[in-house]
Chains A and B, each alone.
Chain A
Amino acid sequence: MPPMIHSFIALLLAVMMVGCDSNPPELMAATKVFETEQETKLHIAEMRTDHMHLLNHKRDETMYSGIRTAKHSLNACIDCHVPMPTAQKVVRHTDAEHFCATCHIEVAVKLDCFQCHADRPALKTAEVAK
């Protein structure tokens, strides 16, 4: 039944996105690119409608079964979509330009993930930056 709730929320989001004029706001560029245009398009389409569903599914797999592959892992998303913090600039989930925040602000959906999860990549530089 929890998955039901999640799919419901996902559906709701999808409906909202379609319902509003569906051009999403300009998002910050990812650091990696797919090899083909095709893959990129698929990724975008899938994530736009399903990212919460996939993340929730993955979260339970990781939490309860210790499955830690990069696919659909929140940390992996962040590593690619949010720029590495530097001494000059740290992009946080509270900034409108943060990859997740941009859309979530646009559609006014509260972002809870980052109450606990890191909102930016963690490499040595991240430590230095803070």
Chain B
Amino acid sequence: MSATELPLSSEQIKANRNSKMTFTEWQVEDKRFYALLAVIGLFVLAAAIAFFYVEHYGHYVTGMNNQVVWGMPHVFAIFLIVAASGAANIGSLGTVFNKKEYQPLGRLSLVTAMALLLGGLAVLVLDLGHADRLIIAMTYYNFKSIFAWNIILYNGFLVIMAVYLWSMMDRRKWANEFYKPAGYLGFIWRFILTTGTGSIFGFLVARQYYDAAILAPLFIVASYVFGTAVFTLALVFLHKFSGKELGQSIQNRLRYTLALFIALVLFFELIRHATNLYATEHHGVEAYILSGGDKITWLFWVGQILLGSLLPLVLIWLPSLRNSQKALLSAAALAIFGGFSQLYVIIIGGQLYPVVLFPNATVESTFSDGEIATYSATLPEMVLGVGGVALSLLLIVVAVKVLRLLPERLFDE
């Protein structure tokens, strides 16, 4: 279906021509589109099967236990939720900061954000011990709980983004009046949302590795990295897959946004670990994460720092790679890998370290006191997590196919 088939009033056509941006559906051959849909759909289907499997047998078929109570599904879910907030940044840049270059990408940015959030929430919800009681989560609220707040924040995010998107797409004048307010509200909401997500961990006094207010700003800067990286990959993919040209200047902008926030995350991580090392009570857990020698230490140094942060920075700033799309794509992919490593270290690593009941004493018990626990994700957990990513992609791909989200031309003037 092409744009010209749609009945447009002459007035609208004029409006389109006059405005600087025109948008189209994703122009991709049907065959290729459905093939893509089928591939992504398979992953979603696999996740559905994984869900029913765990639902049927119970969580004993996962690697999670009573010491490591949150596992791989939560790593995926939190990645997607945090990335959602960052993906909407492109929209904010256009609306709130009035950056003209980003405005053509606003629609795609918001849709990506909504899709990521939905994917993440799906994983989070499907991992519940009682996913069938979702109605209870929506009707019983304990307002002291950050989780309960987050339910409101997530729902609110979807509503605001939907209104925001509508105000971008509807050409009627009164719809346009919502554009700025929705943009500003969305911008603020994103901050609150990521703060809320970081606070899920930040307020936990029980585990030594959490309980730090800095987790909230860390999550905020990390959201920019995850979101920009995912958005970059999605944008390039959508263009390549339909054989459309993508301008260099926009890619360069994304490149520098990515680099800036990777550097900021590194900076916040430095502060976080330095303050932890300063407080004696956190020495144990810091030593475990930074030099404990098991999977977590490797993931931190090699996964998050080396491959996930330093290498992308090099790829972005090496002069010889300045205009290389491959370098940008690799940097984005590595940043995503780094993000997963980071969340794995925080979420899983923080739980592997024992709860401290008696400082100044060596502790033992029949149930992982005083010793590092073990965790490895089982297949259903992995499949569920990957399914969340697939669901997000599915939503993006379908949305760009049926809605006019992509700018007609995105090459350099």
Contacts and interface: CB of A to CB of B under 8 A. Distances in A.
Are the chains A and B members of one assembly? yes
Interface of A: 1-2, 5
B19 interface: no
5 contacts: A1-B139, A2-B139, A2-B140, A5-B135, A5-B139
Nearest to A115: B130
Q: Is the interface of B mostly helix, strand, loop or mixed?
A: helix
A2 B138 CA distance: 11
Grouping DSSP codes into helix (H, G, I), strand (E, B) and loop, the A interface class, with mixed when no group exceeds half, is helix
Interface of B: 135, 139-140
Nearest to B136: A2
A83 B139 CA distance: 37
B169 to A, nearest CB: 36
Contacts of B140: 2
A1 B136 CA distance: 11
Contacts of B139: 1-2, 5
Contacts of A1: 139
A1 B140 CA distance: 9
Nearest to A112: B132
A75 B196 CA distance: 42
Nearest to B133: A112
A10 to B, nearest CB: 16
Contacts of A5: 135, 139
B238 to A, nearest CB: 43
B137 to A, nearest CB: 13
A71 B363 CA distance: 48
Nearest to A110: B132
Nearest to B135: A5
Q: What 5 A-B pairs are tightest by C-beta distance, nearest first?
A: A1-B139, A2-B139, A2-B140, A5-B139, A5-B135
B52 to A, nearest CB: 15
Contacts of A2: 139-140
Contacts of B135: 5
Nearest to A4: B139
Nearest to B140: A2
B340 to A, nearest CB: 34
A105 B139 CA distance: 28
A2 B140 CA distance: 8
A108 to B, nearest CB: 16
B58 to A, nearest CB: 10
A29 to B, nearest CB: 33
A4 to B, nearest CB: 10
B200 to A, nearest CB: 26
A2 B139 CA distance: 8
A77 B140 CA distance: 28
A38 B307 CA distance: 79
B143 to A, nearest CB: 15
A94 B140 CA distance: 30
A5 B138 CA distance: 13
A46 B139 CA distance: 28
Nearest to B132: A112
B59 to A, nearest CB: 14
A5 B139 CA distance: 10
